[in-house]
């Protein structure tokens, strides 16, 4: 019964982002005749060597500065921050400079984080409204092989699932270098409380190491309520509130630092910065029994961003400077409906998974020129309405004990409407029109288990994966080119995963992919940029070694080759070598700690080989001690005080006194040696 139930209930681990898998059975309680819920956890089967689920404990001993750091749980994913900490991080993954999320999808409890047709760039994924301590588990997907993933899931995706409730009510205070302050609390009344409320709140402040202080403030609130609970069904309500503001030093030209006219933590335009807020509402209904599960979710969000930046300084306007303001205000709403059923047909175990997803965005968007945050002219100003409908079906069959496979397909439909705001004569780049696009992609996964478990190795699996996805483009791309098609992304993967001596987990994967086009909308300039065809391939490995019952070692390694097909050049900024390794201790005495090393190799800054970013290696140490109801922690980040670059790009800029724009590296320095400490008190 439990085995069948686990198979059917895996739906909860998908886009729904719901509570842990559960079933119900009578059990002794205060009233012997009253039934209580019994929660059953089970590892969901994987269908690719690179697919995995990480629990909250994998995150709690890793140093984090912002909620976006949870993305680092994805092996070989690189993050870069270049705007004071409040802006969405740059994502580099599987041969993509995914900008702020163009080619990597992020979900929290079924709510998409990525923003379509965004003012700063397609797929902008601001995850700062997440409270890391509320995470229950994280599902990681690489490649376009999964039918339930659509827009933005080109290179991969992450589905973050928050806790249904916490075991305790607690309060935490932390502080550290650069006036870092964090106040966090969780209210989680005992089981059986009316509506089973769960509430978490956070207040955060940080000035950073910059000479012009970040003044970064962040406020978060999350609440969950159980509106209906029966042995087979549950209705949950989720609401979040987020607001932030910050100042930024921006990306500075490397030549200014080399000359000594500017320090690494200096700025050429102290007026940079931003403000953002987002509110989310979600209602999720789940039904499950031994053979089937149904999930229905409706969600809505309200979002706003004002971003002030200056990338090229005085290259375009030698008098007022090249400052820009990007403004994005939107309402978005969507639905997820998924149904999964397990059964036997012709004596073969089978499982059918079908689903429908919808999303509608109503956007007010603008790009303006500004000086000291005062608008001087309009580049473009639009209202955008964008609708996406996704349909998928997936059939799983197990014809033999050593073989199971999935055959699936997904269709995505898009409709775009772009309207010009104001008088077109006042706008430098007027855009308006309508457009639509449709794409259908196959999904195929084979899992071979040719060898039975033995004393040396267990869970021996070989994987063959193939699938199609697409590179997501801004609505303004489609309305300006009526014949524009969605660029298809085709990828395949060969993988292996096993556990040796009941203490060492090993996975290996080789993947290869081809993208038809990388045409993008450049939000900073209000223009389109064609990238042409590209191909990517890489190798990845993961090792998890339980050295002792209380000590473990992990290592993630990847190397990627990414080239443009037509020119033969390199894909700019695509990550090549990445390594993450760590030693984690969890002793029965209450002492816990993790020492980790993070290495990112040099990358090509342009298609030719003359421009390269700097490689870096960072060491971090986190120590934690638990005594009864109290926790204390001490964190040392960048132990060697390495001078590294969190974000680095190559483009032309012009400073005051320079007679012409200069092609140069522009970077935001990574944090120097940083110390943080804090304590937690569990109230009940």
pLDDT by 10-residue block (mean), the chain, 684 residues? 35 35 34 44 68 88 87 94 89 92 95 96 95 95 96 96 91 96 94 86 96 96 94 95 96 95 95 97 96 97 97 93 96 98 93 97 96 94 96 96 96 96 82 93 96 86 96 88 85 96 95 86 55 92 96 97 91 94 95 97 90 96 95 96 94 93 94 96 90
Q: Ramachandran region of residue 224, left (φ > 0), alpha (ψ -120 to 50) or beta? A: beta
The Cα 215–Cα 179 span in angstroms is 9
Position 528 scores a pLDDT of: 54
Residue 73 is classified by DSSP as G
Report residue 366 as tokens. 């603008």
Q: Which domain holds residue 342?
A: 2-682
CA distance readout (Å), 383 to 160, 364, 491: 31, 5, 35
Position 45 scores a pLDDT of: 59
Name the 3-class secondary structure at 5: helix
With the C-alpha atoms ordered 358, 364, 365, 371, is the resulting torsion angle positive or negative? negative
CA distance readout (Å), 183 to 200, 219, 459, 465, 655: 11, 10, 43, 44, 41
397 φ/ψ angles, rounded to the nearest 5 degrees: -135, 140
Position 637 scores a pLDDT of: 96
Q: What is the CA radius of gyration of the chain?
A: 25
Paired residues of 162 in beta bridges: 135
- Write the secondary structure of 629-655 as one string of H (helix), E (strand) and C (coil): CEEEEEEEECCCCCCCEEEEEEEEEEC
| E strands in 143-251 | 156-162, 170-176, 180-187, 198-206, 216-229, 233-247
The Cα 657–Cα 314 span in angstroms is 10
CATH number at residue 484: 2.40.170.20
107 contacts 352 by C-beta, under 8 angstroms: no
- The residues near 548 (Cβ < 8 Å, ≥ 6 apart) are none
- Cβ atoms within 10 Å, residue 112: 25
Paired residues of 652 in beta bridges: 663
Closest CA to 411 of 473, 470, 466: 470
- The residues near 374 (Cβ < 8 Å, ≥ 6 apart) are none
Exposed/middle/buried for residue 29 (C-beta within 10 Å: 0-12, 13-18, 19+) = exposed
Position 525 scores a pLDDT of: 55
CA distance readout (Å), 151 to 87, 170, 470: 22, 38, 7
The Cα 654–Cα 647 span in angstroms is 19
Q: What count of Cα atoms within 13 Å lies in the side-chain half-sphere of residue 179?
A: 11
Task: Please state whether beta strands 520-522 and 504-515 pair in parallel, antiparallel, or not at all (unpaired).
Answer: unpaired
CA distance readout (Å), 656 to 317, 348, 376, 438, 525: 11, 73, 20, 48, 21
- Cβ atoms within 10 Å, residue 483: 6
Count, in order, helices (H) and strands (E) of the chain.
Answer: 4, 39
Position 7 scores a pLDDT of: 37
Exposed/middle/buried for residue 449 (C-beta within 10 Å: 0-12, 13-18, 19+) = middle
Report residue 406 as tokens. 């999935």
Report residue 286 as tokens. 């789940």
Position 28 scores a pLDDT of: 36
Helix, strand, coil % over all residues of the chain, rounded to 5: 5, 55, 35
pTM of the predicted structure, to 2 decimals: 0.91
Tally of domains in the chain: 1
Position 205 scores a pLDDT of: 97
Position 429 scores a pLDDT of: 80
The Cα 684–Cα 168 span in angstroms is 6
């Amino acid at each position: 019964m439990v085995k069948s139930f686990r198979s059917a209930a895996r739906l909860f681990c998908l886009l729904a982002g719901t509570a842990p898998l559960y079933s119900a059975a009578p059990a002794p309680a205060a009233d012997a005749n009253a039934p209580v819920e019994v929660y059953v956890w089970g590892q969901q089967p994987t269908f690719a060597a690179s697919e995995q689920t990480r629990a909250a404990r994998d995150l709690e001993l890793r140093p984090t500065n912002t909620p976006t750091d949870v993305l680092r749980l994805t092996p070989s994913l690189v993050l870069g921050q270049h705007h004071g900490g409040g802006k969405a991080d740059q994502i580099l993954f599987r041969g993509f400079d995914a900008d702020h999320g163009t080619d990597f999808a992020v979900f929290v409890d079924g709510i998409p984080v990525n923003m379509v047709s965004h003012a700063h760039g397609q797929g902008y994924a601001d995850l700062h409204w997440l409270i890391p301590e509320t995470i229950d588990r994280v599902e990681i997907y690489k490649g376009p092989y999964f039918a339930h993933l659509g827009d933005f899931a080109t290179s991969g995706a992450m589905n973050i699932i928050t806790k249904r409730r916490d075991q305790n009510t607690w309060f935490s205070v932390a502080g550290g270098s650069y006036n870092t302050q964090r106040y966090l609390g969780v209210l989680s009344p005992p089981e059986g409380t009316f509506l089973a409320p769960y509430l978490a709140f956070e207040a955060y402040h940080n000035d950073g190491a910059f000479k012009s202080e970040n003044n970064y403030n962040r406020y978060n609130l999350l609440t969950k309520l159980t509106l209906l609970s029966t042995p087979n069904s549950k209705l949950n309500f989720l609401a979040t509130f987020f607001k932030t503001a910050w100042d930024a030093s921006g990306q500075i030209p490397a030549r200014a630092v080399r000359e000594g006219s500017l320090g690494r933590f200096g700025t050429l335009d102290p007026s940079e910065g931003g403000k953002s807020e987002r509110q989310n509402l979600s209602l999720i209904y789940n039904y499950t029994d031994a053979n089937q599960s149904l999930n229905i979710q409706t969600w809505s969000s309200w979002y706003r961003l004002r971003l002030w930046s200056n990338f090229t300084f005085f290259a375009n306007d030698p008098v007022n400077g090249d400052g820009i303001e990007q403004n994005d205000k939107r309402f978005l709403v969507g639905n997820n409906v998924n149904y999964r059923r397990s059964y036997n047909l012709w004596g073969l175990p089978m499982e059918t998974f079908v689903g429908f997803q919808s999303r509608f965005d109503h956007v007010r968007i603008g790009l303006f020129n500004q000086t000291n945050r005062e608008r001087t002219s309009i580049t473009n100003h639009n209202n955008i309405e964008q609708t996406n409908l996704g349909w998928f079906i997936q059939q799983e069959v197990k014809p033999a004990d050593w073989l199971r496979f999935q055959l699936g397909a997904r269709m995505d439909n898009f409709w775009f409407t772009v309207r010009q705001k104001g008088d077109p004569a006042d706008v430098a780049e007027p855009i308006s029109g309508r457009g639509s696009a449709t794409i259908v992609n196959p999904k195929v996964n084979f899992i071979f288990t040719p060898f039975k478990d033995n004393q040396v190795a267990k869970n021996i699996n070989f994987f063959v994966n193939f699938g199609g996805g697409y590179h997501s483009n801004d609505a303004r791309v489609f309305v300006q080119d009526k014949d524009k098609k969605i660029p298809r992304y085709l990828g395949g993967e060969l993988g292996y995963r096993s556990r040796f001596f009941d203490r060492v987990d090993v996975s290996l994967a080789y993947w290869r992919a081809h993208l038809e086009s990388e045409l993008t909308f450049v939000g900073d300039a209000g223009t389109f940029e064609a990238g042409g065809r590209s191909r990517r391939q890489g190798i990845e490995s993961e090792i998890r070694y339980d050295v002792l019952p209380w000590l473990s070692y992990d290592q993630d390694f990847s190397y990627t080759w990414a080239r443009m097909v037509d020119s033969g050049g390199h894909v700019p900024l695509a990550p090549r070598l990445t390594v993450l390794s760590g030693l984690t201790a969890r002793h029965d005495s209450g002492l816990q700690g993790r020492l980790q090393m993070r290495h990112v190799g040099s990358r090509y800054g342009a298609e030719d080989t003359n421009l390269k970013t700097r490689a870096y290696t960072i060491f971090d140490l986190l120590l934690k001690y638990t005594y009864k109801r109290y926790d204390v922690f001490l964190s040392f980040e960048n132990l060697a005080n390495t001078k590294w670059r969190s974000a680095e790009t190559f483009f032309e800029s012009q400073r005051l006194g320079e007679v012409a724009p200069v092609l140069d590296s522009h970077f935001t320095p990574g944090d120097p040696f940083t110390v943080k400490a804090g304590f937690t008190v569990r109230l009940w």
